[in-house]
Amino acid sequence: RKEVEQDPGPFNVPEGATVAFNCTYSNSASQSFFWYRQDCRKEPKLLMSVYSSGNEDGRFTAQLNRASQYISLLIRDSKLSDSATYLCVVNIIVRSGGSNYKLTFGKGTLLTVNP
């Protein structure tokens, strides 16, 4: 099983739609979780961290289910500017007793929001 798996996509939605991305991770020792956004031919940038209790940032809601090892991202009222690839990212400890963490990225899901 891959360490981080995402919906393969692509997703094509009209403006104003609600779209949800799902992600699963295999390492139960995973410590922290993020969603990154990557625009075409640009570097990835942090969209939001994902907290155990779930968290919201404007139109974006992230949720984590540690028991199921599942992360989700919901985008409400999609805008044209939301068109990008969304990367699920998981941080795991690679060496105990220290601050040696490794970020593992999913392959990403391409979202296109159409007018």
Q: Does 42 bind another protein (CB under 8 A)?
A: yes
Of 12, 18, 100, 114, the one binding another protein (CB under 8 A) is: 100
Distance of closest approach, residue 66 Cβ to another protein, in angstroms? 15
Tell me if 24 sits within 8 A of 5, measured CB to CB: yes
Q: How far is CA 58 from CA 37, 61, 77, in A?
A: 16, 8, 10
Distance of closest approach, residue 60 Cβ to another protein, in angstroms? 16
Distance between the two ends of the chain, CA-based, in angstroms? 37
Q: With CB under 8 A, what is the number of residues at the site for another protein? A: 23
Of 17, 74, 93, 110, the one binding another protein (CB under 8 A) is: 93
Give, in degrees to the nearest 5, the angle at Cα 75 between 30 and 34: 20
Half-sphere exposure of 19 (CA within 13 A, CB side): 24
Here's the x/- map for another protein, 45-84, by CB under 8 A: it reads as xx--x-----------------------------------
